[in-house]
Amino acid sequence: MDSQGNGEVVVVGGGVIGLATAVVLAERGRRVRVWTREPAERTTSAVAGALWWPYHIEPMARARTWALRSLEVYEELAERPGATGVRLVDGVMGETDLADVEGWAAGRLPGLRRATAQEYGAGSGVRARLPLIDMAVHLPWLRERLRRAGGTVEERTVSDLREADAPVVVNCTGLGARGLAADTSVRPVRGQLVVVENPGVDTWLVSTAPDGAMAYLFPQPGRLLLGGTAEDDAWSPEPDPAIAEGIVRRCAALRPEVAGARILEHRVGLRPVRPEVRLEREPLPDGRLLVHHYGHGGAGVTVAWGCAEEAAGLATPSAATP
């Protein structure tokens, strides 16, 4: 192969989007290096509640296609939950119309039906069995899968995407793209959650109040994640005690047993939201190829595999000529 087609790729960004993209590329025979400013356990992906559901992402039609492809992958991974961190869990998505969901996911979501009043007394909703991903397990598993495919992960800070010394560079930097790609359209939507001891909740629940306040409960092994918030253009990574109290209060209104649960941890993540996901090629002046792959908002985990496959296609040598 010539220098453009020698198969070498540098993926900049080590969250779930970067790792999934690197895995797909490596398993297709490419030589892949991931450059990440911090280990996956300290990325925004590590904070994700990680219920499979296309949320806070545009364009929604493409997002749903990516999500359904990712669903196929997660259903396979759920056969080994201890290793992959992926489980299929029943729950209720509040303030959601069954016909709307059937319009894009008919026949694809196990157990999809209208929620009963006993299951969700706060309003109308749908019940389904969806992938719920334990990111504390899943991110290290992704990294190990990449290693087995011959890829590597290197912790390094990148100030210019042109630093990447490979014929193909994939930009999976999320909010970092504001600077690295000079793209001020990508902005943070701050999410805060509270981790508590699980008092016995074994189903997930998402609820949105008339005033827009959100509450969710996601049971993970050994703990329960309570959320959440969606604060536009908020950059603070520090948990706000008043917000945390509101989260617990809203969740306890839905599941009273949560009220006295011991708090284990507070978490904050900044979702990289953009008017729409940027997934496109940019030829560099020196003849190399840059693939932009960021702006997945609150659905990075949900769309990771479908998006990664499309990004990997853009990063092929045949796609390098605009």
User: Could you read off the pLDDT of 201-227 as tens digits, one per residue?
Assistant: 999 999 999 999 999 999 999 999 999
Q: Does 297 count as an annotated binding residue?
A: yes
Q: Tell me, what's the pLDDT at 122? A: 85
- Cut 0.85: pTM above it: yes
Given this model, what pLDDT does residue 321 score?
Answer: 43
Token pair in block for residue 215: 């509450």
Whether residue 103 is annotated as binding a ligand: the answer is no
Q: List all residues 6 or more positions away from 320 whose beta carbon is below 8 Å from its beta carbon.
A: 4, 5, 167, 168, 281, 283, 289
Known binding residue 147? Answer is no
List the structure tokens of 247: 């989260």
For residue 129, pLDDT over 70 is answered with yes
Task: State phi, psi for 174 to the nearest 5 degrees.
Answer: 60, -125
23 marked as binding residue: no
Residues ≥6 apart with Cβ < 8 Å to 223: 195, 196, 197, 198, 264
pLDDT in tens, 276-302: 999 999 999 999 999 999 999 999 999
Question: Are the C-beta atoms of residues 86 and 138 closer than 8 Å to each other?
Answer: yes
49 is in an annotated binding site: no
Q: Per-residue pLDDT tens for 232-272?
A: 999 999 999 999 999 999 999 999 999 999 999 999 999 99
Residue type, 209: A
Q: Are 115 and 92 in contact (CB under 8 A)?
A: yes
> Is 173 labeled as ligand-binding?
yes
43 is in an annotated binding site: no
Instruction: Decide yes or no: CATH 2.30.31.70 for domain 3-319.
Output: no
The reply, when asked if residue 298 is annotated as ligand binding, is yes
Q: Using one digit for the tens of pLDDT, what is the confidence trace for 162-173?
A: 999 999 999 999
271 is annotated as contributing to ligand binding: yes
Q: What pLDDT does residue 267 have?
A: 96
For the cut 90, the answer to whether the pLDDT of residue 311 exceeds it is yes
- Peptide bond just before 111 cis, omega within 30 deg: no
Is 299 known as a binding-site position? Answer: yes
